């Protein structure tokens, strides 16, 4: 009973890419906007399917918590049972919605791309298809294909339309992610040949979560530790986590504004989503091991503190925002690592909240860059006088990222902190120590955000930026929805996010704990 809604959402951008390649030059931007808008409207179609279910009973258990499942046999030959299977559940659906929203806004933001727009918008739409595919794929092979599909367009988008050191940044991005995906390929092979779902091998992510489908894994402890580490590295590169994060600042600094909006808003979520979709449900006993929880927790905290510290010391505005993304994503990892219900909910919410705030912040930096053509904070200053409306929106965006109550950043952080405080997996004291260190980041975040706001916006008006034009209508069109979302998620988090997300997360936790 395929409902084809999800498949249409995924392949509408691909159709858009086709039309963009053939449409006359002056229509390119409009067609791209049309198709991203269409994808967004279709993704709204998913909403009624989730609104109907009452909160408690949502998603009876992890297996049949999936809705709008489209299943098509794709490759059934020579012992392979790969089928095109997409579906969406509590954690998938919000990310799909986030993807369509951010891509729509990024499309509006890339209105003044001058260098070969046809190629730009074609790759842009291909990237959107890849992202939508990653968040809905339920077959490991399909997940891997879409995961790699996002690699190609991003490489060219950064490489061709980027800043001065774009080639270096692009190849570095490509290499880090490819290294990760090669490890994922090995794990995919391992899962496939070790699984026997009623006798046959399977890639189906749902079937793999049922106990007994991976018999060899139940007995050999070393096997699932190895698999878990490899998968973790693949996802850690994307989140990014401490040792593998060096590509992010370079990629962000060099990528054009709309692309870094998508990079920060969506690509970083692939890592977190991967952990929640593949690592934890399929290898629950690996995740429950105290040593694993300790390492992930510590790495999460390092990410938070290290990101905040580096952000404090940056002079390039965009690099500062990039490091702030690392710090915020550290909360996601900490939330997931300590296996508490609130922690999971916090991690998921933080992913969505960070999507909104980081997209907003990168757009804001982009707006400044379009006007003054440099991002050097010491040289900036006194913009509040020239651009009051822009400063108002910027304050909203930056304070949301800082985690001010009433805005979306706060809810994610408070959930993760309160949740990880009660974690039992690290013994009575362990979790509490980690939470205290993470809580300190609240001060550091306030530090670097206020300091940068002060140096960029406040202070006396500088003659150098005399004639700087105020924020344009189009730019407000992009910032307004992000601001509204930040407030809505901050004031009513339960109605906007948690009703959909908590059901599935509770079941994943039930699998693990």
Partner 1 sequence: MMPYAFIIAWLLPLVGFVVLVFRGRRIGEPRSGYLAAGLMLTAAAISLVGATRWVIGHPASLNVSTPWLRLGSQWINFGVHIDSLTIVMFTMVTVVASCIFIYSIGYMQGDPRFPRFFTYLSLFGFSMLGLILADSLIGLFIFWELVGLCSYFLIGFWFEKTSASNAAKKAFIVNRVGDCLFLIGIATMLGTTGVVSLESVFNQVRQGAFAGHGGLLTFAGICLFFGAVGKSAQFPLHVWLPDAMEGPTPVSALIHAATMVAAGVYLVGRIFPLLTPTALLFVAYIGAITLIGSALIAIVMTDIKRVLAYSTISQLGYMILALGVGGWAAGLFHLITHACFKALLFLGSGSVIHGCHGEQDIRKMGQLHRKMPITSITFLIATLAIAGVPLLSGFYSKDAILASALGFTWTHRVHGLLFILPAVAAAITAFYMLRLYLLTFWTQARDEHVHHHAHESPKVMWVPLAVLAVLTVFIGWGGKMPERHSLGEGRYQYEGGRGLVGLIAEAQPQWAVSWQMQEAGHPSVSDVSREEADAEAAHEEHGFHLMAMAIATSAMLAGVLMAWLVYSKELISAGKATQVLAPVHKLLWNKFYFDELYRATFVAGILLLASFGKWFDRVVLDGLADGSARWMARLAFFSGLTLDNRGVDGLVNGAARLALVGGNLVRKAQTGRVRNYILALTTGGAVIVLVFVWIW
Partner 2 sequence: MDGLTPEHLRYLWPVLALIVTLGAILVGALIGREGSGRRGLLAAALAGLILAVLLALRLNPHSALRTPPSGDWLSRYLFLDPLYRFVIIYLSIFLGGILLVSNSLWRRPTWEWPVYLCLLIGSLIGMILLASARHLIFLAIAFEMASLPSYVLVGFRRFNTKSAEGAAKYVVFGAVCSALMIYGISLLYGVTGTFDWEQIVLRLAVEGVPPLAVAALVCLFIGLAFKISLAPMHFWCPDAFEAAGADVAAWLSVGSKSAALLALARLAHILLPSISPGIRDHAILLVAVVAIVTMTVANLSAYWQTSVKRLLAYSSIAHAGYIVCGVLVLADTAGTAAIVAYILVYLLMNLGAFSVTGLIEAQNGSDHLDNFVGLGTRNPRLAAVMTFFLFSLVGLPPLAGFAVKWILLSTLWQHELAFVVVAILANTLFSLFYYMRIARAMYFSSPQPVPSLQLDGGSPLATIQVPGLMVAVLAVCAAGLIALFLGWGLLNNLSLSLFAT
Return all residues near 400 (Cβ < 8 A) that are at least 6 apart.
353, 356, 357, 360, 407, 408, 409, 486, 490
Please give the residues from 374 up to 393 whose contact with partner 1 meets the rule CB under 8 A: 382, 384-385
Provide, rounded to whole angstroms, the least separation between the CB of residue 163 and partner 2. 13
Provide, rounded to whole angstroms, the least separation between the CB of residue 171 and partner 1. 5
502 binds partner 1 (CB under 8 A): yes
Long-range CB contacts (< 8 A, 24+ apart) of 69-75?
69/2, 69/138, 70/2, 70/3, 70/4, 70/6, 70/7, 71/2, 72/2, 74/142
- The residue from 66, 399, 465, 500 that contacts partner 1 (CB under 8 A) is 399
Q: For residue 8, how many C-alpha atoms fall within 13 Å in the half-sphere facing its CB? A: 14
Number of residues forming the site for partner 1 (CB under 8 A) = 58
477 binds partner 1 (CB under 8 A): no
Residue 415, binding choice from partner 2, partner 1, none, Cβ under 5 to 8 Å by partner class: partner 1
Q: Are 125 and 14 in contact (CB under 8 A)?
A: yes
Q: Give the span between the Cα atoms of 269 and 353, in whole angstroms.
A: 11
220 binds partner 2 (CB under 8 A): no
Residue 458, binding choice from partner 1, partner 2, none, Cβ under 5 to 8 Å by partner class: partner 1
Please give the residues from 118 up to 137 whose contact with partner 2 meets the rule CB under 8 A: 118-119
Return all residues near 245 (Cβ < 8 A) that are at least 6 apart.
303, 326
- The residue from 15, 23, 160, 468 that contacts partner 2 (CB under 8 A) is 160
* Residue 441 in tokens: 């980041």
The CA distances from residue 315 to 30, 84, 343, 369, 387, in Å, are 37, 47, 33, 14, 22
Q: For residue 385, how many C-alpha atoms fall within 13 Å in the half-sphere facing its CB? A: 13
- The residue from 95, 98, 342, 485 that contacts partner 1 (CB under 8 A) is 342
Number of residues forming the site for partner 2 (CB under 8 A) = 34
- The closest alpha carbon to 183, from 132, 130, 236, 248, belongs to 236
**Interacting residue ranges for partner 2, rule: CB under 8 A:** 74-80, 82, 116, 118-119, 144-145, 148-149, 151-152, 156, 159-160, 166-167, 170-171, 174-175, 178-179, 182, 185-186, 189, 192-193
**Interacting residue ranges for partner 1, rule: CB under 8 A:** 165, 167-168, 171-172, 175, 243, 245-246, 249-250, 306, 309-310, 312-314, 340-342, 345, 382, 384-385, 399, 404-406, 410-411, 414-415, 417-419, 421-422, 435-436, 439-440, 442-444, 446-447, 450-451, 454, 457-461, 493-494, 498, 502
């Amino acid at each position: 009973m395929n409902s084809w809604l999800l498949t249409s959402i995924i392949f509408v951008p691909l159709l858009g890419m086709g039309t963009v390649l053939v449409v006359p030059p002056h229509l390119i931007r409009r067609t791209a906007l049309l198709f991203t808008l269409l994808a967004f409207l279709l993704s709204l179609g998913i909403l009624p399917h989730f609104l109907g279910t009452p909160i408690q009973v949502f998603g009876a258990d992890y297996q049949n918590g999936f809705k709008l499942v489209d299943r098509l046999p794709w490759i059934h030959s020579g012992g392979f049972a790969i089928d095109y299977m997409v579906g969406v559940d509590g954690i998938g659906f919000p990310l799909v919605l986030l993807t369509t929203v951010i891509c729509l806004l990024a499309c509006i933001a890339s209105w003044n791309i001058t260098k070969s727009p046809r190629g730009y918008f074609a790759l842009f739409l291909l990237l959107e298809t890849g992202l939508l595919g990653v968040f809905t794929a339920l077959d490991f092979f399909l997940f891997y294909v879409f995961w790699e599909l996002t690699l190609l367009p991003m490489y060219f988008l950064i490489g061709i339309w980027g800043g001065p050191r774009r080639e270096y940044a692009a190849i570095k991005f490509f290499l880090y992610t490819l290294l990760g995906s090669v490890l994922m390929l090995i794990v995919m092979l391992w899962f496939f040949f070790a699984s026997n779902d009623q006798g046959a091998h399977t890639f189906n992510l749902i079937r793999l979560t049922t106990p007994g489908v991976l018999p060899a894994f139940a007995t050999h402890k070393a096997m699932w530790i190895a698999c878990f580490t490899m998968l973790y590295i693949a996802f850690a590169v994307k989140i990014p986590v401490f040792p593998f994060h060096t590509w992010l600042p370079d990629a962000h600094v060099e990528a054009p504004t709309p692309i870094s909006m998508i990079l920060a808003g969506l690509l970083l979520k692939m890592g977190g989503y991967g952990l929640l979709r593949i690592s934890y449900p399929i290898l629950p006993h690996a995740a429950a091991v105290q040593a694993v929880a300790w390492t992930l927790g510590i790495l999460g905290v390092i990410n938070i503190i290290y990101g905040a510290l580096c952000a404090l010391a940056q002079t390039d505005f965009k690099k500062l925002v990039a490091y702030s993304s690392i710090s915020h994503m550290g909360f996601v990892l900490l939330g997931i690592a300590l296996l508490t219900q609130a922690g999971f909910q916090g991690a998921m919410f933080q992913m969505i909240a960070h999507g909104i705030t980081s997209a907003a912040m990168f757009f804001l930096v982009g707006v400044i860059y379009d006007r003054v053509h440099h991002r050097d904070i010491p040289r900036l200053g006194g913009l509040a006088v020239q651009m009051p409306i822009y400063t108002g929106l910027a304050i909203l965006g930056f304070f949301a990222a800082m985690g001010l109550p009433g805005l979306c950043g706060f809810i994610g952080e408070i959930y993760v902190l309160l949740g990880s405080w009660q974690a039992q997996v690290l013994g009575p004291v362990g979790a509490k120590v980690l939470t205290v260190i993470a809580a300190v980041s609240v001060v550091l975040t306030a530090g670097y955000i206020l300091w940068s706001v002060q140096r960029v916006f406040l202070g006396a008006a500088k003659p150098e930026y005399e004639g700087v034009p105020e924020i344009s209508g189009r730019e407000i069109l992009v910032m307004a929805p992000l601001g509204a979302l930040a407030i809505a998620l901050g004031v009513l988090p339960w109605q906007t996010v948690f009703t959909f997300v908590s059901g599935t997360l509770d079941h994943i936790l039930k699998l693990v704990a």
